[in-house]
Each structure stands twice: as C-alpha cells, then as structure tokens.
A and B are shown apart, each in its own frame.
Chain A
Amino acid sequence: MSEEKYEPVIGLEVHCELKTATKLWCACPNEFGGEPNTHICPICLGLPGTLPVLNRNAVEYAMWIGAALNCEIKPSKFHRKNYFYPDMPKDFQISQYDEPINVQGYLDLPTGIRIRIERAHIEEDTGKSSHLGKSGRIHASYGALVDYNRAGVPLVEIVSAPDIRSSEQAKDYVSELRAVLVATGATDGRMEEGSLRVDANVSVRKGPNAPFGTRCEIKNVNSLRSLVRAIEYEIKRQIEILEDGGRIVQQTRHFNEDTLSTVALRSKEEAQDYRYFPEPDLPPVSPLDTWINKVKQELPPLPSQRRAKVKETFGTAEDSQIITLVEQDLDGLFLDVVSRGADCEIALRRLLNEAASQIEAAKKLDAQDFAELIGMEKSGKLSATQCKAVLANMLEGGGSPMQIAASLGFEGMNSNELEEVITQIINDNPDAFERFKAGDEKVSQFFVGQVMKATKGKANGKAVIEFLEAKKS
C-alpha cells in the first residue's frame, strides 16, 4: 500500500437544528423527543391546503450563524427540493438553493488552518421513521412507523469547501464549528440527540496538485469518533480501489456503526433529479441592513476570541488546556477568579481536573468563593488533596471555602505542631533520614506519607518538605 501517495480531499455538510421555540413554518413547539406525533399540526404534517409561514427567529438565528462564520448575509429565496420519502410530509423539502442567506465565509481552526464555508442556508427537517421487526434494521423489516414531531424543525446547513485534508482535521473542523454554533446561541449542538449531523464528501487524489477525484458522500455519522472512523475507512477503501486499477463510483454511502465500514445505498433507477423551483408559497427574505448590523453587533464572543483572551491572561497555558476550558464554557469563570487575584495555574488545574466533570455545577460557582479557595491552596493553608475535597463540597451545594474547610476539619496545622510530628517521625526512622540527607529525593515522599498518616491528611505536603530541608543542616 502506498497511502502516502494519496491526499484525501474532504468537504463537510453540517446540519444543525436551531433552538427556536417553534418550528420553521408553524407554531408547533420545537422540542426534542416527546411522545410520537404530539408536536404536530396540519401544517407540519403537510396536509392538503396548508401553507408555510416563516419563523422570524429562525432567520435571525441563521444570520447569527452566518455572522459567526464570517459569511456575507444576502437576500435569499426558498426553493422546493422534490423527492418522495415517507418521513417528508409534503414529499418535497423547502430549502434554499441558488440564493442562500449566507455565502462565502470561513472558519479558522485552533491549529491555524482556515476552512472556507461555501454557504449556510435555512431548510426544514424531516420526521423520523423507525423500522419494525428484528433488531430495527431495514432488512427483515415488515414495516416502518413514522413520527412527525421533528418534521418542520428549522435547520441551518453549513457547507464547507473541500478544504479538509485528513480525518483529524475534519474532527477539528466539526469541534470548532460546533463550539462556534453553540456560542452564538442558535443551537445546542448535541450530536447524540441529532441536533448536529454531519455528512462527509470524501475523495482522494495523487498529491496536492492533482485534480480532485470522484467523491462519495457518507451519511449517518453520529459522533466525532464515527466521523474519524468513517472518513478513514472511506479513504482506505478508495485508495484500495485505485491501487487495484479500479475507478471510484460517485455514490452515497451509509456508515455502519457496528462494522465501522461504509456501505453504498441502494442505487435508484433514475438519477437524483430534485426539480428545484422557487417556493411559490413563500416570498423572498431580504434582511434590512439595520437587522444585519444588529445581529453582528450582538454576536457574543466566539471561541477563538475567548481563547485569545485566556492566552492573554495566562500566556504559559497549553493550547489544548485553553481549548478545553473554552469548550467547557469555563473560561468566563477562569478569567473572573484570576481577576480577583487567584493563581492562574492552580485555578486552571482545578477547573480542568475537578470542575469540568461537573460542568453545570461548576458554572454556578461563586467566583469570589472559588478565588478564595485557590488562594488557600496557593498559600499552603490547604493541601492539594484538601482543596479538592473542599471544591467537591462547593460543587455540591456551594458555600464559603473557609467554612467547608473548617467543617471538614482542615484547620491549617500550626508550624509548632507540624514540627513536633516531623521530629518524632525523623527520630523513628533515622536510616531513612540519612538517605534523605545524602540526596535521595524519593525518600521525601516516604516522610510526607508518614506525616499525612499521623495528621490524618491535615498537613500541607509542601510545608513538610520545607521542614525536612531545614532539618538537613
């Protein structure tokens, strides 16, 4: 195999559900899940005689996304994309075709690579069908049940240029895009609930200057992990075909989570012909400049700006830590506690190691309390272990770190008490102390352990070592 000869070319289509209160064309609530067919009305069921009326908020959210992706926000139109499928109530999808609302933007990845965005347009979601019969598979199914709760939920489809060159980069793109989308407030970006869905267009070519190869579209990618696996499988599959002297057939392929492979969808007799034409029931959308400017002004800070801010405050933090901090939406708290004088390094460590496992609780932490806690660890009033224990309590119910520390019996030991204990332990272990004096650093951990044991963890490890060093001479 000569995989290094080939360069993958990847473009991604990301569908994200908008967080509007109601659906795109009707006043049914836009809520995930729910008992089947409880969020339906004649309009989203596409019953004869019904008509769509555009949700103003969906347009505004689409504009937020466009602004966040550096797109040009333009006058736009809706078209009908005609195809038959049971979960598509009207048997056409209302979408935007040659005049989408957002065009020609870009997304900068944390790695510094820029991926161009071709368009980000508004369209409606379909219902959901589930297969009846063994294991819910399409094969061996005797029928399907259709739930239209999701039909007519507003989507924005973000189409990247074919600028992505590896599965890792695809993952970086989707992570960053997701973070941007969530930051705008337009979507909750939950891949596991399907509110963010990715289709990947994959092809390979011989080197960066060769013309693009024939591409395959991969659907049913439900997580970042699947995205990486599906793309890798597909790249390998295409290279193998080419190496065997074969040709790639343009097709839509389905990623199978169980076999970790992609499979071609049944090829239809007739070629796809969606017969797009302007939707006669919907007038065009032409947002006024005042509206576009308002959206741009009100756009919340995006992840890249937020990362820069953290970097500015704490220059030596690792990029990966900063990315995670912003991803977890804890950068605001971090900057707040640091501005109250807390130590950057300790604050970041506690946020990423402890708080991040309970994000919702962490976001509710009182910055002043948290800053105090970090101060206590920094000054040695609390050991790292004690600090974690106090933080765990704060995450559970909040409260002043001083009071929690007191209630846990973490009163700082005074130096006299500590010296007494250390002296006793040195006397009990003269050999070990000799080794320590001779420069065997590992022995220090033995003493720290013994002191902790004797003080039931109350002692501060750093203080113990300072005493030991002092006793050397």
Chain B
Amino acid sequence: MNNENLITEKDVAHVAALARLHLTTKEIADFTTQLRSILEHGRDITALDLAGIPPTSGPIPLENVFREDVAGSCIDKSEVLSQAPGHQEGQFLVPPLLDGSE
C-alpha cells in the first residue's frame, strides 16, 4: 500500500461499475478522498509482519455442517410475488436482459 497504490478516481469509478452504482463526478471525488483516508488508516496492518500467519475467515472453527437430503415444504409463490416490484404469469418480470449477442 504505497502512495502510488492508493485508490484513485479511476479506481472508484471502476468499483462503482462493479457494484452497480452510479456516482456523480462530485461523489467520485468525495468517495476517493474518504476511501483514501480509511485505507491510509489501514496501513497499520501492512506495517506488521504477517508472513506465515494463516487467514481467518470465520471466528469459530467449524467443519462438515450438513443438512439431510429430505424435501420440506416450499413457499406459496403468491406471497413472494406480492412483494416483487414486477411480476407476470407467475414469474418475476424484469426489463430486457442485455447479455446476448451484439
């Protein structure tokens, strides 16, 4: 996390696209400043020698937690669809998908 690695406005714009957020030019500038100060504060971690330390992703070590393969009840779709912003013919309705061919 050297200075040249600190987050730039270009990074912020890229990250916003990844996160499906639209930011105004001003928001990009503000977020860049704020994220930079938070990340700079985070330099205290990189100051430590963490070589050889394994990562921890969950606080309590657990493994092999399973569910038996036994069918249970489903939910009435009308209750779910009643909360959906768009539905038609018992399905969720969305604007056209773009991920097709050019």
| Residues of A in contact with B (beta carbons under 8 Å apart) | 20-22, 26-29, 35-42, 45, 47, 53-59, 75, 84-86, 129, 131-133, 137-139, 141-148, 254, 256, 263-266, 269-270, 273, 275, 277-278, 280, 282-287
Contact A40 B77 (CB under 8 A): yes
Residue B89 lies at the interface, judged by CB distance under 8 Å to chain A: yes
In the complex, chain B residues whose CB is within 8 Å of the CB of A142 = 96
What's the Cα separation between A27 and B71 when bound, in Å? Answer: 5
What's the Cα separation between A21 and B67 when bound, in Å? Answer: 12
Contact B92 A146 (CB under 8 A): yes
Number of A-B residue pairs at CB separation under 8 A: 146
Residue in A20, A256, A280, A286 whose CB lies within 8 Å of B64: A286
In the complex, chain B residues whose CB is within 8 Å of the CB of A75 = 63
Residue in B64, B70, B73, B92 whose CB lies within 8 Å of A145: B92
What's the Cα separation between A273 and B14 when bound, in Å? Answer: 11
Contact A139 B91 (CB under 8 A): no
Q: List 21 A-B contacts (CB under 8 A).
A: A22-B69, A28-B72, A36-B89, A37-B91, A39-B74, A41-B74, A53-B66, A55-B66, A131-B97, A142-B96, A143-B88, A144-B95, A145-B88, A145-B94, A147-B91, A254-B100, A280-B57, A283-B58, A283-B64, A284-B63, A284-B64
> What's the dominant secondary structure at chain A's contact region?
loop
> Other CB < 8 Å A-B pairs besides A29-B71, A75-B63, 4 of them?
A27-B73, A138-B99, A145-B89, A285-B63
In the complex, chain B residues whose CB is within 8 Å of the CB of A39 = 74
What's the Cα separation between A149 and B89 when bound, in Å? Answer: 14
| Residues of B in contact with A (beta carbons under 8 Å apart) | 14, 17-18, 20, 57-58, 62-75, 77, 80-81, 88-102
Contact B90 A143 (CB under 8 A): no
Contact A143 B93 (CB under 8 A): yes
Contact A36 B91 (CB under 8 A): yes
What's the Cα separation between A42 and B77 when bound, in Å? Answer: 10
